[in-house]
């Protein structure tokens, strides 16, 4: 799975933005004794940090697949209610009336870093509390982070807009590691390790630990700008080779300006033309969403950076003849998949695909064909357990998502990941009816949510009295009817819907 990690994350971007409310689990009624507490101190350069915000959150166990909310491995996913405290004149905080459990304490002080180097670079501490325990010394010793700012231009001095700027930390031995800014912890996850330029071509990266850095732009890092690979990577100030880059020295609380980068001439790009057809009839499919991912650069013998991910080639919709077109592509190998993110709200179509591959050498590519296969359908009724009238009225605002996982690890691959991260979606009717379409063979798990109120807990999935909560086995193009999804709706869900 390592080869497709970033591919999987890229395909989940739409899910992340549309369903961001599902990142935190809605708190349920809790009757546990609240006899525990946690306390500590926040300092900046050894002095008390007054009125600093500290958030303490209980970390819940991740739910079983298909039994609860949509989830990703993000900080804070699967958490309960937040307990907020402000530090006093001595920088001290205390949170009491906590039940026994596992917790995270996070200090909200953007632009600061830990005073001493630590494997844990985040401003968060994890700990456990036993019943009746008063844990102290959960401290945060911080200093003001440094800043690097500059401008990215092309060979003629024109500003380049929305360009990714990357940092590498250089240690005392000369070793280099990716250095994401603490202001955006998703950078490391997404493989995007810096900032972006504004409409003036200016970038500003803050919250940096004191040390030595290399700054670069261009190349395969600009994967979210739609212009990946247009410019060769260049290092500050205008070095085409990392070994000739100028090291930037950053001090705590200091700002280094004028760290400019001039990119060379844009590389020649090409286009790919193709179509999507029905696998059985060969007829074109109109309005299909297609996503293009670069999996290997032209001058590399292995997948880019060992992950199988090298850039986002774009997304397109097929016309009435099933044709699609991708432009601005650099030489290399590409993977196509069906991935229509608009279908998250509309329910999507009846197809899935094993995708298609093509390679660009020194010219345009035509005749790429992707075959779409009719998928299975799962339909039935969703019901709310112990529902009052208010809860019943929420059915029409409820949506179900279905993910298809491969039957065995040997079947895992880029297409399996694509199917998992572009789920079938169905809005639940006022009578509870739903229909999930376009599912590929595999073990299908179902999750529920309300857009305005977050995830819902599924307590049971059954068909003909048989429990299918852990997954419904799909073997081919079949119509699985009579599925009953039992949902538990909390008071908070009803209030926020």
pLDDT tens digits, one per residue of 272-328: 999 999 999 999 999 888 888 887 766 554 344 333 444 566 778 899 999 999 988
Q: Which fold has domain 32-143?
A: Immunoglobulin-like (2.60.40)
pLDDT digits (tens, 9 = 90+) for 256-287: 999 999 998 877 888 999 999 999 999 999 98
- Dihedral angle sign, alpha carbons of residues 241, 242, 243, 249: positive
Confidence (pLDDT) at 418? 52
What is the three-class DSSP state of 19? Answer: coil
Confidence (pLDDT) at 413? 52
**Domain range summary for the chain, segments of one domain joined by +:** 32-143, 146-262, 270-373, 375-496
The count of other CB atoms within 10 Å of the CB of residue 390 is 13
Of the candidates 99, 92, 79, the one whose C-alpha atom is nearest the C-alpha of residue 41 is 92
Confidence (pLDDT) at 396? 74
Tell me how far the alpha carbon of residue 68 is from its chain's centroid.
Answer: 19
Of the candidates 265, 263, 312, the one whose C-alpha atom is nearest the C-alpha of residue 291 is 312
CA angle 166, 171, 172 (to 5 degrees): 150
Looking at residue 239, the DSSP 8-state letter turns out to be B
In 154-210, at which residue ranges do the beta strands (DSSP E only) sit?
164-170, 176-178, 194-196, 202-208
Confidence (pLDDT) at 25? 39
CA distances for 266 relative to 157, 192, 328, angstroms: 13, 21, 11
Q: Write the burial class of residue 133 (CB in 10 Å: 0-12 exposed, 13-18 middle, 19+ buried).
A: middle
Question: In terms of CATH, what superfamily is 270-373?
Answer: Immunoglobulins (2.60.40.10)
Asked if 276 and 320 count as a contact pair (C-beta separation under 8 A), the reply is: no
Of the candidates 261, 316, 258, 311, the one whose C-alpha atom is nearest the C-alpha of residue 287 is 316
Confidence (pLDDT) at 337? 83
Confidence (pLDDT) at 188? 41
Q: Supply 353's token pair.
A: 């695909």
CA angle 97, 100, 103 (to 5 degrees): 90
The CA distance from 141 to 225, in Å, is 37
The CA distance from 144 to 151, in Å, is 23
Confidence (pLDDT) at 64? 38
Question: In CATH terms, are 32-143 and 375-496 the same topology?
Answer: yes
The CA distance from 424 to 351, in Å, is 10
The CA distance from 332 to 336, in Å, is 13
Confidence (pLDDT) at 393? 64
What is the three-class DSSP state of 14? Answer: helix
Give me the CATH code for the 146-262 domain, please.
2.60.40.1120
Confidence (pLDDT) at 340? 60
Asked if 22 and 77 count as a contact pair (C-beta separation under 8 A), the reply is: no
CATH 3.40.50.2000 fits 375-496, yes or no: no
Of the candidates 103, 94, 104, 120, the one whose C-alpha atom is nearest the C-alpha of residue 39 is 94
Confidence (pLDDT) at 84? 94
Q: Which residues of the chain have pLDDT under 50?
A: 1-28, 61-79, 182-193, 221-228, 301-310, 344, 412, 415, 492-497
């Amino acid at each position: 799975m390592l080869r497709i990690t970033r591919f999987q994350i890229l395909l989940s971007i739409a899910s992340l933005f549309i369903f961001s409310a599902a990142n935190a689990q809605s708190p349920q009624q809790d009757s546990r004794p609240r006899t525990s507490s946690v306390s500590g101190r926040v300092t900046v350069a050894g002095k008390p940090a007054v009125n600093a915000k500290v958030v303490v959150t209980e970390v819940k166990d991740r739910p079983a697949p298909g039994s609860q909310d949509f989830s990703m491995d993000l900080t804070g996913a699967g958490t309960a209610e937040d307990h907020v405290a402000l530090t006093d004149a001595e920088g001290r905080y205390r949170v009491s009336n906590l039940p026994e459990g596992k917790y995270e304490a996070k200090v909200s002080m953007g632009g600061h870093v830990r005073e001493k180097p630590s494997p844990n670079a985040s401003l968060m501490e994890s700990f456990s509390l036993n019943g009746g325990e008063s844990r102290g010394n959960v401290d945060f010793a911080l200093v003001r982070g440094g800043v690097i700012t500059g401008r990215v231009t092309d060979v003629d001095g024109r500003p380049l807009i929305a360009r990714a700027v990357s940092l590498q930390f250089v240690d005392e031995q000369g070793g280099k590691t990716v250095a994401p800014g603490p202001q955006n912890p998703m950078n490391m996850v997404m493989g995007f390790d810096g900032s972006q330029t504004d409409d003036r071509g200016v970038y500003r990266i803050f919250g940096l630990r004191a040390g030595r850095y290399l700054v670069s732009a261009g190349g395969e890092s600009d994967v979210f700008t739609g212009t990946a690979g247009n410019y060769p990577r260049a290092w500050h100030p205008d070095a085409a080779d990392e070994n000739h880059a100028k090291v930037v020295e950053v001090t705590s609380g200091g700002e280094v300006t004028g760290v400019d980068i001039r990119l060379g001439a844009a590389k020649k790009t090409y286009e790919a033309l193709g179509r999507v057809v029905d696998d059985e009839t060969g007829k074109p499919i109109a309005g299909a969403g297609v996503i293009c991912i670069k999996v290997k650069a032209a001058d590399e013998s292995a997948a880019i950076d060992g992950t199988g991910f090298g850039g986002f080639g774009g997304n397109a919709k097929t016309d009435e003849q099933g044709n699609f077109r991708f432009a601005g592509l650099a030489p290399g190998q590409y993977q196509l998949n069906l991935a229509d993110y608009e279908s998250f709200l509309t329910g999507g179509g009846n197809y899935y695909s094993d995708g298609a591959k093509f390679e660009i050498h020194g010219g345009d590519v035509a005749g790429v064909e992707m075959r779409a296969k009719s998928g299975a359908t799962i339909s039935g009724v969703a019901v709310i357990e112990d529902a009052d009238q208010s809860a019943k009225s929420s059915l029409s605002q409820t949506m179900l998502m279905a993910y298809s996982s491969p039957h065995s690890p040997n079947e895992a691959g880029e297409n399996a990941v694509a199917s998992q991260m572009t789920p079938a979606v169905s809005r639940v009717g006022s009578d509870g009816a739903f229909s999930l379409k376009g599912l590929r063979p595999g073990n299908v798990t179902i999750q529920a949510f309300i857009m305005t109120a977050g995830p819902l807990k599924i307590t049971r999935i059954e068909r003909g009295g048989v429990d299918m909560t852990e997954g419904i086995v799909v073997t081919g193009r079949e119509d699985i009817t009579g599925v009953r999804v039992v949902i538990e709706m909390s008071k908070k869900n009803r209030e926020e819907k």
